Copies of this chain bind each other. A is one copy, B any other.
């Protein structure tokens, strides 16, 4: 894994996990699944694969201080600050430009900070295999073998196998597909040749920067300006001055869709979850005989498939449910959420409503 670096992307909000996830302390900074926060899990998952000096974090200023506290092993100079969110293309470009300046042979693995992966050994194995593919100048994505017809993810359709000898099946990407509707998702699941787009990418900085030059020349020019700055303080001044001129674009649409050599490793058995909304906790935590999950005191009468999630400060509270099916209960100091499981995506609408009505204290 020489010349290999991880770039952890950590700017998101996680509004679908309200009321636990808040503006001041979003999803990735919370211990949602176990004792580690999702961000800490993303860092510790790399242990034995990469030293902390080769982990970069791209985040926003408001979250950087807390991240430093949660992962003190990562050197200060490895934190890159986005002045404001301009989409993943800008974030990836920034990290690639900075890394390339540091190590022209760099290979970078882009990793979201707010996912959960149960099978760490397999994750290491896959990353190594992906690096092997990336060394042949491919842009590599980790696909996730779908377990249900989810409409919450984009899909990647695989084509012919990539030529060469690798330790894992690798395919050329035929097409990236946006989040589908229910019926399309059913088709994609049955097709057998589609993976979920996990947002994990592996490539040489040289290759991705070449694609930026070809497909997003304006961003590319800005990145060269940033990379030309001699050191961190000067670089930050440049970033501050140019960032808001960047076009907001995702790496998927900005680069991946029309890139030349794109490969996918379809991964099953990884125990992956993007912990995107409350219903996803049923994929990550182990339900009891009645399908219930609780992280606190839960007295359940005639209750099935129900999640009772109690905030840290409320662990003494007793939650009693009678005749409840398929319900999400999230209990915090100042807010209580009750939600039918199949409407878990609507939690973000609640946050939007609170924002609109300036209920700052609950955001």
CA of A142 to CA of B23, assembled, Å: 58
Given contacts A299-B353, A349-B301, contact A320 B340 (CB under 8 A): no
CB of A342 closer than 8 Å to a CB of B = yes
Measured between beta carbons, the chain B residues less than 8 angstroms from A302 are 343, 346
CA of A343 to CA of B324, assembled, Å: 10
Measured between beta carbons, the chain B residues less than 8 angstroms from A340 are 322-324
Given contacts A331-B336, A336-B336, A338-B338, contact A350 B316 (CB under 8 A): no
Measured between beta carbons, the chain B residues less than 8 angstroms from A121 are none
Measured between beta carbons, the chain B residues less than 8 angstroms from A301 are 343, 346, 349-350
Partner of A343, one of B316, B323, B342: B323
| A328: nearest chain-B partner, CB-CB | B322
A350 B336 Cβ-Cβ under 8 A: no
Interface residues as binary, A284-303 with B (CB distance below 8 Å gives 1, 0 otherwise): 00000000000000010110
CA of A320 to CA of B278, assembled, Å: 14
A318 B349 Cβ-Cβ under 8 A: no
CB of A347 closer than 8 Å to a CB of B = yes
CA of A40 to CA of B321, assembled, Å: 32
Partner of A338, one of B19, B321, B346: B321
A173-225 at interface with B (beta carbon < 8 Å): none
CB of A362 closer than 8 Å to a CB of B = yes
Measured between beta carbons, the chain B residues less than 8 angstroms from A334 are 316-318
- Report how many residues on chain A are interfacial, defined by Cβ distance under 8 Å: 33
CA of A349 to CA of B347, assembled, Å: 33
A329-352 at interface with B (beta carbon < 8 Å): 329, 331, 334-340, 342-343, 346-347, 349-350
A347 B322 Cβ-Cβ under 8 A: yes
Measured between beta carbons, the chain B residues less than 8 angstroms from A49 are none
CA of A339 to CA of B346, assembled, Å: 22
A324 B338 Cβ-Cβ under 8 A: yes
Query: In the assembly, how many copies of this chain are there?
Result: 2
- Among A321, A336, A359, max chain B CB count under 10 A is at A336
Partner of A335, one of B19, B317, B337: B317
A337 B353 Cβ-Cβ under 8 A: no
B319 A336 Cβ-Cβ under 8 A: yes
B329 A338 Cβ-Cβ under 8 A: yes
A299 B350 Cβ-Cβ under 8 A: yes
Measured between beta carbons, the chain B residues less than 8 angstroms from A317 are 334-336
CB of A327 closer than 8 Å to a CB of B = yes
CA of A318 to CA of B335, assembled, Å: 5
CA of A327 to CA of B336, assembled, Å: 14
Measured between beta carbons, the chain B residues less than 8 angstroms from A316 are 334
Partner of A336, one of B320, B323, B359: B320
Partner of A350, one of B320, B346, B359: B320
CB distance from A202 to the nearest CB of B (A): 38
What are 9 inter-chain pairs, A to B, with CB distance below 8 A? A19-B320, A299-B354, A301-B346, A301-B350, A317-B334, A322-B338, A324-B338, A324-B339, A338-B338
Known A320-B338, A322-B350; further 6 A-B contacts with Cβ < 8 A: A301-B343, A301-B350, A318-B336, A322-B343, A323-B339, A336-B336
